[in-house]
Structure 1
Amino acid sequence: MSPVQINGPENGHTRSATVAPGSLVFTAGAAPIDADGATVAPGDVSAQTRQCMANLKVALAETGASLADVAKVTVFVAEHLQADLVVAWDVVTAEFGDHKPAGSLLGVSVLAYDDQLVEIEAVAAIPS
């Protein structure tokens, strides 16, 4: 059982999440890079978001956590159109399924890798 209690959601957005005592996991930003360090799907927000989520799952698994343990997710999108933020958010929420962690969606100017449009970081709670 996950130590994350979701407070909300209201109007499709979770207001907050409460975690039980245990360990917190703070991930670095998961980038849309493959095993060789190459940026996946330049120009494709949806495909890059899926790769970021795959990389995020690996980072969480290394700590014994999963998406079900995530209390907070932050999605960064380096695009100029608000619609592209929605595209990324739709992929993220689909990956989480029924689990709806608190989240932030940000439009930014630039990200670290060439052709990178998306980056995702998370805070997860692992039961003690």
Structure 2
Amino acid sequence: MSPVELLRSPTLTDSAPYACAARAGDLVLTAGACPLDAAGDVVAPGDVAEQARRVMANLVTALADAGCGLTDVARTTVYVASSDRADLVAAWEVVRAAFGEHDAPSTLLGVALLGYPDQLVEVDAIAVRPS
């Protein structure tokens, strides 16, 4: 039996791999959470902040389905499809607010393109499942 368990969130769209996590012992690795609704469509085209809000809501769901919460996150990577620093800041402010007092290390990147048409934001996380 493999020490890695692949999980798919039963409550997020099954059209995207972001709804998946891998659990190895107490370590949980999420695929990038995307700004997709239940039908698998990108929400709020052109609106970085609103997409970041949906991304964080989807990340919370994926983590919960893997037995974790945001306070269990050890590290994130935030991707924003923009070369405008204002867009990066807009996404970061939403992500940061979602984590509240839990100040996990994070990398914020401006990238040329993300996987879905009109997608501007994606966040992946590494968490440690509580005992």
In structure 2, what is the equivalent of residue 36 of structure 1? 39
In structure 2, what is the equivalent of residue 45 of structure 1? 48
Contact 2:68-2:130 at 8 Å conserved across structures: no
The runs of 5 or more residues in structure 1 that have no matched partner are: 1-21
Structure 2 Cα separation of the partners of residues 127 and 117 of structure 1? 31
In the superposition, the TM-score normalised over structure 2's length comes to 0.80
In the superposition, the TM-score normalised over structure 1's length comes to 0.82
In structure 1, what is the equivalent of residue 5 of structure 2? none
Is residue 98 from structure 1 mapped to residue 129 from structure 2 by the alignment? Answer: no
In structure 2, what is the equivalent of residue 26 of structure 1? 29
Structure 1 residue corresponding to 2:125, chosen from 116, 122, 125: 122
| Equivalent residue pairs, number | 107
Structure 1 Cα separation of the partners of residues 81 and 130 of structure 2? 34
In structure 2, what is the equivalent of residue 81 of structure 1? 84
Cα deviation, residue 80, structure 1:
1.9
- 1:98-123 deviation per Cα after TM superposition (whole angstroms, max 9, x unaligned): 11000000000000001000000000
Contact 2:73-2:125 at 8 Å conserved across structures: yes
Higher relative contact order (CA 8 A, sep 6+): 1
User: Considering only aligned residues, what root-mean-square deviation do their CA atoms show, in Å?
Assistant: 0.8
Structure 2 Cα separation of the partners of residues 63 and 29 of structure 1? 14
In structure 1, what is the equivalent of residue 21 of structure 2? none
| Identical residues among aligned pairs (%) | 58
Structure 1 residue corresponding to 2:115, chosen from 99, 112, 115: 112
In structure 2, what is the equivalent of residue 71 of structure 1? 74
Report SS of the residue matched to 1:51: helix
Structure 2 Cα separation of the partners of residues 124 and 80 of structure 1? 29
Cα deviation, residue 127, structure 1:
2.8
Aligned amino acid, residue 78 of structure 1: A
Aligned amino acid, residue 33 of structure 1: L
Report SS of the residue matched to 1:89: helix
Structure 1 Cα separation of the partners of residues 107 and 30 of structure 2? 15
